[in-house]
Each structure stands twice: as structure tokens, then as C-alpha cells.
Structure 1
Amino acid sequence: MRAVQITRFGGPEVLDVVDLPDPVPGDGEQLYEVSAAGINYADTHQTENSYLAQQQLPLIPGTEFVGTPAGGGPRVVGLAPAGGYAEKVVAPSRFTWEVPDGVSDEQALALVIQGATAWHMLRTSTHMQPGESVVVIAGAGGVGSLAIQLAKHWGAGRVIATASSPEKRALTEELGADASVDPALADDDPKTFTAALREANDGHRVDVVLEMTGGHVFDGSLSALAPFGRIVAYGMAGRVPPKPVNPTSLMGTSRAVIGFWLAHCMARPEMMDAAMNELLPMVAEGVLKPVGGGRYPLSAVREAHQDLLSRRTTGKLVLDPSR
């Protein structure tokens, strides 16, 4: 089978398309013919070995796929431990969900990691309540574009998105954001970014922030929180850690900092079911509209990663293993 393999760590240049033997399923696993594989920002950390979990070489990156069981069966979207960037993958049957008619491969792939992340950050981590204000950092991205829609659907009082270009900020408002802010305001001084978030919230502090950049963006977002406000850190796309958080400052402001990693939901399969069993019907019914970011041939995987790292993309990126 054709697959993308990493034999050394680095940037997009370490992604090589090679021919490998078909994977062999173990106990509880099934072999699937892949029609599309999902690309996530975490995959760029995986290629660098800079993610939360240590990586072992050689490695086929990618964890999400849409495909059918070898030998026939319904189309499913699923999670594999690794190996998604390939024509074939093995995955536990427990971590697959049948894709409803009318839901495309790209739409299904947008849900299994990014949609489940948005769902759990709003439902499980922050317990967002109707009427609360929600800030979505990187609102034009895969997680952010879905989080905006979910927050509005679940009754958020005001949704504020950040995005790095006028076009992306316009997209976030088309998705339902009430206002949008340029995150570059945080580059020189987090206080400027804090002020912009408060201005976008009619002068008030904000209740919930979903944050995946780190650095000054995290610092400015934390400062914008209202008493009993919650910020969820689920990424560090800027590759710069924020300042350490002082517990005393949290006590004095009644604010909360929460970390989120979807892997902990995967360790409790019922948590993944809760998200997927709500999200897939929402897409089928047209209530939730994942944003497609582009379908790349497997042979163009380096270009896909470079586009993602350069912030040239919006929504969900996928690989087509047939090309």
C-alpha cells in the first residue's frame, strides 16, 4: 500500500510517500480501505516529536480516517492509534462510527477529533451555560469553526472569534460569531489584546475562552476573564509557552485555567460516543456545517502541512490516498 512515513523528525520535508506492506489487524481491530484521511495541527507536532506524547520511528502519522472494512461493510469514520496517512489502516472497531447518508468524508473527518474537541471543551471542560460569552481563538480553524457554531446553537450570549486575516475574520462572523478580533494585537502587549476582547464583548469581561495558541494570546485571554470565567488550553500553535499561572491570582479573581487533551476522552470510549452520536446527526440535519479546508493528494502531504503551518488554510484538511 502507499503511505506517508517518517523516518526522522523535522518539518514537512520529513514526510515521505513510500510503498509498505498492508497492516495486519490485531485483536479487536479491523482492516479498513481508506477513502480519506484527516490532517490535524497536532500532526505537525508529531512530525517534530514536540507533542504531548513521545513518538517512535518509523512512523505513519495520522489518526483519523473514513473508509470501509476490507471485504465490505458500511462507511465509517474512525480513530486509529496511528497510520491514518495511508491507503489502508487498522483500527479498533470500538472507535468507529457509521457515517450517515448525506454526510461527506470531509464533514465526517471534521468531527472525530476537532468536533469532539469543541464539543467536550464546551460541554465537559467549561460547562458553558446559555447567555455566557465565549471567545474562540483561531475561529477559522477546524476546532474553532465548529466551536463557534456549537456555542451559538447552545445559547451563548455573545461569541467572539479571533483570526489572522480579514478574510478569516469575515468567515468566523458568517459562521455565527458576533465579533472578531485580530490575534496579532497580542504580539507586542497582551494588555492590548485583553482590551480588544473586552471591547468586542461590549466592554465586559468574558466568561469562556477556548485557547490553542499559547504565548501572549493565552496571557491576554486569561486577563480578559470575568470572575468565575474559564479558559481551556488545548494547544500551543505559536510554539511559545505562556507565562506561568500564579494560583494566588486565580484565587483573587475566581478564574479557572483548564487543560484539555482529547486522548483522555479516547481512554473513556463512552465520552467519544457522547460527542460523535450528537455531532453526526447535527451535520446530517444541516444544523452543524463543518468548513472544508481542502482535499490534498497523498503525494502532496508536504504541501498540506506547509499550508497548515503557514496559516494559509481554514477548516478541515484531508488527504486523498487514491492520488
Structure 2
Amino acid sequence: MRAVQITRFGGPEVLDVVDLPDPTPGEGQQLFDVSTAGVNYADTHQIENSYLAAQQLPLVPGAEFVGTPAGGGPRVVGLLDGGGYAEKVAAHPRLTWQVPDGVTDEQALAVVLQGSTAYHLLRTSAHLAAGETVVVIAGAGGVGSLAVQLARRWGAGRVIATASSPEKRALTEELGADASVDPALADDDPRAFTAALREANGGRPVDVVLEMTGGNVFAGSLSALAPFGRVVTYGMAARQETAAVPPGVLLQKSRAVVGFWLAHCMARPAMLDDAMTELLPLVADGALRPVVGGRYPLSAVREAHQDLLARRTTGKLVLDPSR
């Protein structure tokens, strides 16, 4: 089968399209033919070996796919612990969900990892309450574009998004954000970012921030919180660890910092079922709009990663293994 493999760690240049043997299903797994593979920002960390779990070489990146069981069967979307950038994958059926008619491969892939993340950021980690102000960092991205819509749907009083260009900020407002902010304000001084978030909230502090950058964006987000506010951090896009948070900083305003990584839900499949059984029907009904950022041939995987890293994309990126 054709697959993307890396044999050394680095940037997009280490992604090679090669021929490999078909994967051998392990205990409880099944072989699937892949029609579309999903690309996530975390994949760029994986190939650098700069993410939360240490990686072993050689490896085939990719944590999600849409496909059908080898030999025939319904179209499903599924999660993997690796191997998704390929024509075939070995997956556990317990981590697959049937794709409703009318939902495209791209839409299903937007929901399975990024949508489930947005779901649990708001419901499980932030415990969003009606009327609260929610800030979504990278609101035009895969997770962010869905989180903006879900926060609005689930009763947020005000939704503020950040995005790196006027076009992306306009998209977040089209999706339901009440205001948008340029995250570049945090580049030199997190206090400028704090001030911008509060200004976007009518001069008031905010209740919830969904944060995936780290560095000054994290620091500015934490300072923007109201009493009992929560920062939920789920990424490190800036490639820098956030400075330690002194207990006094939390105590002063009863603030909280919560971490979230969807990998822990894979050990609790019922948590993923909760998300998928709610989100897929919303997509099928048109009530939730996944933003599709681009479909790349498998042979153009380096370009996909380059575009993602350069912030040239919005929404969900996918790979076509047949090309």
C-alpha cells in the first residue's frame, strides 16, 4: 500500500510517500480501506517528536480516517493511535462511527477528532454555563471553528475569537463570534492581549478561554479571566512551554487552569460516543458547519503540512490516499 512514512524527525521535509506492506490487525482490530485521511496540527508536532508522547521511528503519522471495512461494509470515521496517512489502516471498531448519508468524508473527519475536542473542551473541562463569555483562540482553525459554533449553540452569552488575518477573523464572526481579536497583540507583551480580550468583552474580564498556543497568548488569556474563570489549554502551537503559574495567581481571582488531551478519551470510548452521537447528526442536519480547509493528494503531504504551519489554511485539512 501507499503510505506516508518518516524515518527521521524534522519538518515537512521528512514526510516521504513510500510503499509498505498492508498493516496487520492486532487483537480486536479490523482492516479498513481508507478513502480520506485527516491532518491535524498535532501531526506537525508528532513528526518533530515535540508533542506530549515520545514517538518511535519509523512511523506513519495520522490519527483519523474515513473508510470502509476491507471486504465491504458501511462507511465509518475512526480514530487511531497512528498510521492514518495510508491507503489501509488497522483500527479498533469500538473507535469507529458510521457516517450518516449526506455527511462528506471531510465533514466527518472535522468532527471525529477536532469536533470531539471542542465538545469536551466546553462540556467536560470548562463546564460552560449559560451566559458566560467564551474566548476561542485560533477560532478559524479545525477545533476553533467548531468551538465557536458550539459555544453559541450551548448558551454562551458572548463569544470572542482570535485569528491571524482579517479574512480569518471575518470567518469567525460569520460562524457566530460576536467579536474577534488579532493574537499578534500578544507577541511583545501579554498585557496588550489581555486588554484586547477585555475590550472585546465590553471592558469586562472573560469567563472561559480555550487556548492552544502557549507562551504570551496563554499568559494574556489567564490575566483576562474573571473570578472563577477557566483557561482550558489543549495545545502548544508556539512550540514553547508556558511559564509556571504560581498558586497565588490562581487564588487571587479563584481562577483555574485545566489541561485537555483527547488521547485520554480513547481509553474511555463512551466519552467519544457522547460527542459523536450529538455532533454527527448536527452536521447531517446542517446545524453545525465544519469548515473544510483543503483536500490534498497523499503525494502532496509536505505541502499540506507547510500550509498548516504557515497559517495559510482554515478549518479541516485532509489527504486523498488514491492520488
User: By the TM > 0.5 criterion, same fold?
Assistant: yes
Q: Which residue of 1 is the match for residue 303 of structure 2?
A: 303
Q: Which residue of 1 is the match for residue 93 of structure 2?
A: 93
The separation in 2 between residues aligned to 1:136 and 1:63, in whole angstroms, is 23
Q: Which residue of 2 is the match for residue 205 of structure 1?
A: 205
The separation in 1 between residues aligned to 2:104 and 2:44, in whole angstroms, is 25
Task: Look up the SS of the partner of 2:91 in the other structure.
Answer: strand
Structure 1 residue 291: deviation in Å? 0.1
Q: Which residue of 2 is the match for residue 243 of structure 1?
A: 243
TM-score by length of 1: 0.99
AA at the equivalent of 1:249: V
The separation in 2 between residues aligned to 1:94 and 1:240, in whole angstroms, is 35
Structure 1 residue 243: deviation in Å? 2.1
Q: Name segments (4+ residues, structure 1) moved above 3 Å.
A: none
The separation in 1 between residues aligned to 2:64 and 2:31, in whole angstroms, is 14
Aligned ranges 1:13-92 → 2 under 5 Å: 13-92=13-92
Task: Look up the SS of the partner of 1:108 in the other structure.
Answer: helix
AA at the equivalent of 2:268: R
The separation in 2 between residues aligned to 1:169 and 1:24, in whole angstroms, is 45
Q: Does 1:188 align with 2:164?
A: no
AA at the equivalent of 1:157: G
Q: Does 1:7 align with 2:36?
A: no
Task: Look up the SS of the partner of 1:106 in the other structure.
Answer: helix
AA at the equivalent of 1:27: E
Task: Look up the SS of the partner of 1:253 in the other structure.
Answer: coil
Task: Look up the SS of the partner of 1:147 in the other structure.
Answer: helix
Q: Does 1:169 align with 2:169?
A: yes
Structure 1 residue 252: deviation in Å? 1.5
- Per-residue CA deviation, residues 257-290 of structure 1 (Å, 9 max, x unaligned), is 0000001111111001111111101101111000
The separation in 2 between residues aligned to 1:247 and 1:81, in whole angstroms, is 35
Structure 1 residue 114: deviation in Å? 0.4
TM-score by length of 2: 0.99
AA at the equivalent of 1:142: G
The separation in 1 between residues aligned to 2:305 and 2:101, in whole angstroms, is 30
AA at the equivalent of 1:250: L
Structure 1 residue 241: deviation in Å? 2.1
Task: Look up the SS of the partner of 1:90 in the other structure.
Answer: strand
AA at the equivalent of 1:99: V
The separation in 2 between residues aligned to 1:160 and 1:173, in whole angstroms, is 9
Structure 1 residue 242: deviation in Å? 2.2
Q: Which residue of 1 is the match for residue 150 of structure 2?
A: 150
Task: Look up the SS of the partner of 1:78 in the other structure.
Answer: strand
Root-mean-square deviation (CA), in Å?
0.6
- Per-residue CA deviation, residues 29-50 of structure 1 (Å, 9 max, x unaligned), is 1100000000000000000001
Q: Which residue of 1 is the match for residue 278 of structure 2?
A: 278
| Identical amino acids, percent of aligned pairs | 80
Structure 1 residue 246: deviation in Å? 0.7
AA at the equivalent of 1:160: I
The separation in 2 between residues aligned to 1:270 and 1:38, in whole angstroms, is 22
Task: Look up the SS of the partner of 2:38 in the other structure.
Answer: strand
Structure 1 residue 27: deviation in Å? 1.6
- Per-residue CA deviation, residues 204-255 of structure 1 (Å, 9 max, x unaligned), is 1000000000110000000000000000010010112222101111011100
Q: Does 1:252 align with 2:252?
A: yes
Task: Look up the SS of the partner of 2:43 in the other structure.
Answer: helix
The separation in 2 between residues aligned to 1:42 and 1:222, in whole angstroms, is 23
Q: Which residue of 1 is the match for residue 178 of structure 2?
A: 178
- Per-residue CA deviation, residues 142-185 of structure 1 (Å, 9 max, x unaligned), is 00000000000001000000000000000000000000000000
AA at the equivalent of 2:117: T
- Per-residue CA deviation, residues 55-112 of structure 1 (Å, 9 max, x unaligned), is 0111000010000000000000001221100000010010000000000000000011
- Per-residue CA deviation, residues 281-322 of structure 1 (Å, 9 max, x unaligned), is 110111100000000000000000000001100000000000
AA at the equivalent of 2:249: S
The separation in 2 between residues aligned to 1:110 and 1:278, in whole angstroms, is 14
The separation in 1 between residues aligned to 2:88 and 2:54, in whole angstroms, is 24
